[in-house]
Every structure is written in C-alpha cells, then in structure tokens.
Structure 1
Amino acid sequence: MHPLDALDAAAHLAATDPAAAISSLPWLSASLADDAAAGRFARWGRSSVIDENVGAAVLPRPLFDELHARAGLEAAWPVGNAGLLHVYGYLLSTTPTPYGLKRERWLTGDLERACGLAVAALLPWIGAETLLSRATSAASALLARPDALTEEAEGRTARIALGAPLPDGTAALAYAVDGLIVTMFPVADPAAVRAGLGAPRLRWNAA
C-alpha cells in the first residue's frame, strides 16, 4: 500500500480505534517512541485541538489521549503538547478547515520548499530522523531570523517568523511562545499575514 493510502486508512480508523490506527503505521509508532525517549517534545509548547478557524476539535478525544500516552506526556483535553498535536496529530485529522486538511503542510511539499529544504525533506515516513526532529530544526531556523516579530500577549512573549518568499509568493511561518515552538506552516501571502496581525494575542491555537 502506498504510504499516503495507508495514512488515509489510519486517519479514518483513528476515529474509532486510535491505538490500532497508530500501530498500523510503523513509522509513526517508532517516531513517537523515539521522540519520547529523546525528549524532543520538550522543545514545543502547548496547543488546543479546538481550532480557531473551525471552532471545533480537529482530533477526537480518544486519539488525543492515545497520542499523549504513546509519547509519555500528560495532557488535559483539549490542551496538549503542540509538537505532538501539530506534527503527528494533524496527520490523522480528517476535519476540513478553510485551508484544507491540517496534514497537508507535511505532504504537499510547499512547506519544505518554503524552508529551502530538499524535495520530500518533510515527508513523515522517510529519512533517518523523525518528522518531529526535522520540523523542530526547520522551525528553529525560521525563529532565529533577525526579522522575526516579537509581541507580548497575556503576559507571554511570542515570536512570529516568516521566511523569504518563493517566486510564487509562498513563505514558511513559524510561531513560538515563551521560547517553545507552537506551529509551522506555509502561507500563500506573507504580506497579508503581517498586515492582518492586529493587536497582540496568542495565535494559531497556542495555549
């Protein structure tokens, strides 16, 4: 079975049997165990699975709980580890959003191109490093940019970084709160993102 077909099947199974869904993807089970053992989730902050665009959870609670159990992390629904949710959880989300499925950032190639990475550098099932490890490196490089924006909101310090745009205008965005990564994704119009920020607040489902 093609890895994308296997991911589709696992995403649909996750709604009723999250343990079986994760186990059906050997690379995902191995990545969760490897990242947990290496302490990589500690580089990421907290996020809610209640999406601000959808107004509803993008993952079912049993899947949320199973992911955190596999990663050896404590969480209180609907807030959990941002790396676990945005990297691995989103791969299994079937909830449509105005920007498509959450997993598309890891599958289309737009994000890796916008980060200046090699083709397929962020495909979940390839490479010697886990997707979380690769995503952490890419997001950290973006957040280190001298032109990243810093804002204070709710007593927290947030950093918004946008990479250099591609010829078609697409750019990579990374977001961190209190020094911990929350998310990264490609944006079609970085100038519009900057212009639309408005007053400082916690963004992109950060908690």
Structure 2
Amino acid sequence: METSDKSVFKAQFNELVKPYMVLYVGSLFFVTVIGIVLLPFWFLGVGQWWSRHYYDKLECELTETAIRFKKGILVQVEKTIPLENIQDVTFVEGPLLKYFHLCILKFETAGQSAGQANDMQLVGIINAQELRNLILSQRQKRMQAKNTAPANPVSDNAVVLQEIKELLADIKGIMQSQRVQ
C-alpha cells in the first residue's frame, strides 16, 4: 500500500465477536469425534484466550485506493485489495450472527476462480453497512477518475514525434549540403 494513501475509514469491531467465535468454533468441535473430546478445554479457557487475542489482532482500513485488513494469531494475514479489483461486497447475517448483533462482509475480487473462496471475510465490523457503502462509492470514484483521465500522454508523444521528425529533416538537409560541397 502506498504511504501517501489517505485513510478514508478505519473500521472498529464489535466485542461480541469474541463470544461468537467461541460458540462458532465450539459448534465445529461438537460435530467431530476428536472435537467432542476437546470441547470442555475450548469452553473452559482456550476458546476465551483465543477469541480475545484474535479480536485484538483484527484491523480493517479503507483508503482512497484500497482496503487493507489484518487478522490472525498463529498465522497472521495482512491483505491489501485495490478498490478497482473489488467486484462485490456481500453483507451476510445468519441466526447465530443475528443473536450477537453481528454480520459478515465478504469481498469478491476480479480474477477469482469458481471454486475459490471469497478473498476476504470480516466478521463483526461496527457500522458494516456504512463501510460497504463507502467501499462501493470509493470504487466508483476511482473508476470514474480512471475513465476521465486526460489523453495527454498520447498528445505529448505526438509533439515529441513531430519534433524528432523536424530534427531528422534538418540533419538530412545538412548531410545533403555536405555531400554537394
């Protein structure tokens, strides 16, 4: 990400992400044989520790040109997605998410293969709908600015080529006059 890139919005995360993560992972443990054995350890301390540290590592920032996010405990992920690559921002609310007053924002980017998961998912952003609208409006501004960019490089090239042509004509004239003498 460019250092001159101005921040437009810095997301804050709802603290209810922590109990949501504990229950979500606990429910995944519940459906596996090995997970059932680990379930008491998860609910009696490990889950709270993990969710607290996971929450502390969450960051999301929208700039004029990209969206950047960081997350993870053991495997830390930092991702920057240029706004012009974002195709869709999906707003998801399920029953467990609604219970905790949370939602998921899913970002789909250009160039994804059909079987690939979403490039980015963020759980528990406060004012997620506002962030979604800001992302889409920033992307629209970037696309319009790109489409209305002046065609100066082409006209500048034409001027330079014309000057080169005139210089070559002058050189040709000098060389012909030297041959005659």
Shared fold per TM-score greater than 0.5: no
Instruction: Select the structure of larger CA radius of gyration.
Output: 2
TM-score (norm 1): 0.26
Higher strand share: 2
More helix by share: 2
